[in-house]
Structure 1
Amino acid sequence: MIESPGINELFEQAPSKVFVSSDVTLPPPDDFYIGSHEFCAGDEDITESSELSVRLADFGTSSWFDNHLTEWIQPAMLRAPEVTLGADWDHKVDIWNLGLVVWELTQGAVLFDGSWTPQDPYTGEAQLAQMTSLLGAFPKSLLSRSRECDRYFTSDGNLLKPSTFGSLCLNDMCKNRLNCDMSDSDRADFLDFIMAMIRLDPAERPDAKTLLGHKWIQEA
């Protein structure tokens, strides 16, 4: 969502009918969660703004941690592996999402599109194969608690449908992007930031507070 005067005013006026107070007491403007509300700022000319800011605010497939609306969450191309595999999930799925969104915004390409070829549709099998080609074998600790494990993996943890992607390297993928104008040092910090968020084991992904202290963020 592009920030604009109208949208900023919407957030500054909280709590209002757009926002519903939560049971947790937090300092404003954090003492609310967003309820269903249509808001359009299409009449505003954001091209005249001297500064352009972006607020991440897509709640289309969101859910509560303690009261799951569904276990099948997240857009397909941003879906965390534990969701695809039917394992229990928590806030670390958002960290996975953030890593993929930051990659897409900076590189202009989806990291795990879930397609065997550019002409093929998305499948969970292809997406898991892409993850394996880049990140290595799935940890047994995740597979052992995954309700859909037998759908994708053999009993010894190998993919039922072998990967055709070969061995992928995030550094090479970054250098090959036309819009990757980074120094070697900046690219190393950027890749470390991304890799921290897309660990296959959710327990190994840092929380948001830790990520704020990452060198790539601090020196941006």
Structure 2
Amino acid sequence: MADESQCSWIYPEEPHMYPSSVAGGYIPLKIGQKLTTGPWDTEFTVLRKLGWGASGSVWLVHSEHYHFSAMKVLTAVESKACSQQYRYELEALTRLQQLKEDAAAQSKPLPLGSHYCIPSISLFAVDSTHSGHWAILLPVCSSSLEKFIGDAMKKNIGFRFELNHIKRIVRQVSVGLHFFHATGMVHTDLKSSNLFIPLEGQYTSELSEYLHTHPALAYDPHVDLQISPEPIITFRSQTLPRIGPTSFDQWHVCLGDYGEAVPVEKTHELTSKGQDVMPASMRAPEVTLHAPWGQPIDIWALGALAFELVTGDMGHIFDVSPVSGMNIDEIRLARIEELCGPFPKSSVLNAPRGKSFFDSEGRLLKPLLGGTSSRGTLHQRIELARPDWSKQDILETEGFLKRCLMIDPAVRPTVKELLDDQWYSHVAYH
């Protein structure tokens, strides 16, 4: 078996052809393949690949018992990490399920937000040439919010959600986060690509017809005898269409993908190791400064998400494009100050990395210079993106975002406190 560095071929999607020692060990499933697994030896038929990410690949499957489902198969490396409890996706799913079971046992209504976190239907082990994998059976969703927005912008470069629809989406994410936080976990990766639009209603016949007219696709076979004696076939990721209400007023968006989740009681271990969490472009300041962090970083991410929906500036709330003489952390902190205002002196000087970025008065050692492209303050960026909004709408939206993006996590609201915010407390989200 060749080392990946010896191969000139660049794989088009997940590197399932390489062993776990080289590329994590993605399961090499094939369309039409039968998997018999689970407590009742359920037979699943693989119908298409829905997507893949750092922790595994996701497939549309069908069985007599579960009908259509999404099956997320973790890589061999991720599966081992979950089994040895230094990765926590399975722990998060177990805790979510336990909350529901506890409510049922006590004849109580389901906790607020339970319908806005994607649950696991079942969990079982499957084998491949790479060793064992954990497989998570999930409800079927159409696509992520990120992909929906991206597709909409391709059709109309000026696409933006209306304010009432932004509030509805952010409200749904907030109640989902409320339920998730009740498990004692931190999501750490809340972003539009981890928010999913579920298929709704009696969608079985419509989905069956769609699959019949839109078959699964594969890339051209690749031959490389250093890797495999057989032609290498990689299937294309193909998301599903929206099935359900077409009006944004009836939309539902659910929080999912718990691959980066961390129990609150384990966060200090990651902090002490200097291990970063969150996407680089939206990382909370306490993470960059290696200060203690916890569930408040998810509130920061919620604010970043709301900002993106308002401005349409997806993934660039804090532009970390190269700036001469500055590293990425210096750029990020300077962009945070530009958008959110100055850092509180007490919160930065007490942080382990505070003196690396701030002087004794709490001022940035490397602020953005006059020649550096300014992105503007929070108010300016909302005003620029939404010239048709009233002054009141701009100010109220700015106020909500400022609450989420409080630099000091000690004064950032909890999600329970945030749900009472007048910006969206009146919004129907069911």
Q: TM-score with structure 1 length normalisation? A: 0.76
Cα distance, 1:204–1:176 mapped onto 2, change above 3 Å? same
Deviation at 1:161, TM superposition (A): 1.5
Question: Higher strand share goes to which structure?
Answer: 2
Residue in structure 1 matching 2:404, options 190, 197, 215: 197
CA contact (8 A) 2:296 2:412 kept: yes
Quick check: 1:134 aligned with 2:134? Answer: no
Inter-partner Cα distance in structure 1 for 2:420 and 2:389: 20
Give the aligned partner of residue 20 of structure 1.
94
Give the aligned partner of residue 173 of structure 1.
381
Inter-partner Cα distance in structure 2 for 1:176 and 1:157: 30
Give the alignment of 1:74-113 within 5 angstroms. Answer: 74-109=278-313, 110-113=316-319
Q: TM-score with structure 2 length normalisation? A: 0.41
Aligned residue for 2:266, secondary structure, equals coil
Aligned residue for 2:255, secondary structure, equals coil
Deviations 1:114-155 (A, max 9, x none): 2356x9x98111110011123232112211321111221223
Give the aligned partner of residue 321 of structure 2.
115
Partner amino acid, structure 2, of 1:49: G
Give the aligned partner of residue 349 of structure 2.
144
Cα distance, 1:47–1:136 mapped onto 2, change above 3 Å? closer
Inter-partner Cα distance in structure 2 for 1:6 and 1:213: 37
CA contact (8 A) 1:143 1:157 kept: yes
Cα distance, 1:153–1:176 mapped onto 2, change above 3 Å? same
Partner amino acid, structure 2, of 1:204: V
Deviation at 1:188, TM superposition (A): 1.5
Deviation at 1:209, TM superposition (A): 1.6
Q: Unaligned stretches of 5+ in structure 2?
A: 1-66, 71-91, 105-109, 124-133, 143-210, 212-238
Deviation at 1:89, TM superposition (A): 1.1
CA contact (8 A) 2:348 2:362 kept: yes
Aligned residue for 1:176, secondary structure, equals helix
Partner amino acid, structure 2, of 1:113: D
Q: Unaligned stretches of 5+ in structure 1?
A: 9-17
Deviation at 1:205, TM superposition (A): 1.1
Deviations 1:96-129 (A, max 9, x none): 1110011112211122122356x9x981111100
Inter-partner Cα distance in structure 2 for 1:27 and 1:182: 43
Aligned residue for 2:360, secondary structure, equals coil
CA contact (8 A) 1:106 1:180 kept: no
Deviation at 1:182, TM superposition (A): 2.8
Cα distance, 1:176–1:122 mapped onto 2, change above 3 Å? farther
Give the aligned partner of residue 159 of structure 1.
364
Partner amino acid, structure 2, of 1:138: F
Deviation at 1:88, TM superposition (A): 0.7
Inter-partner Cα distance in structure 1 for 2:296 and 2:353: 19
Aligned residue for 1:129, secondary structure, equals helix
Deviations 1:41-81 (A, max 9, x none): 56684334224321122434321111136232111112110
Aligned residue for 1:214, secondary structure, equals coil
CA RMSD of aligned residues (A): 3.8
CA contact (8 A) 1:77 1:113 kept: yes
Structure showing greater Rg: 2
Aligned residue for 1:216, secondary structure, equals coil
Cα distance, 1:48–1:91 mapped onto 2, change above 3 Å? closer
Cα distance, 1:64–1:136 mapped onto 2, change above 3 Å? same
Inter-partner Cα distance in structure 2 for 1:6 and 1:70: 38
Deviation at 1:169, TM superposition (A): 2.4
Partner amino acid, structure 2, of 1:27: A
Partner amino acid, structure 2, of 1:70: L
CA contact (8 A) 1:115 1:127 kept: no
Quick check: 1:47 aligned with 2:255? Answer: no
Inter-partner Cα distance in structure 1 for 2:380 and 2:292: 33
Cα distance, 1:122–1:161 mapped onto 2, change above 3 Å? closer
Partner amino acid, structure 1, of 2:342: A
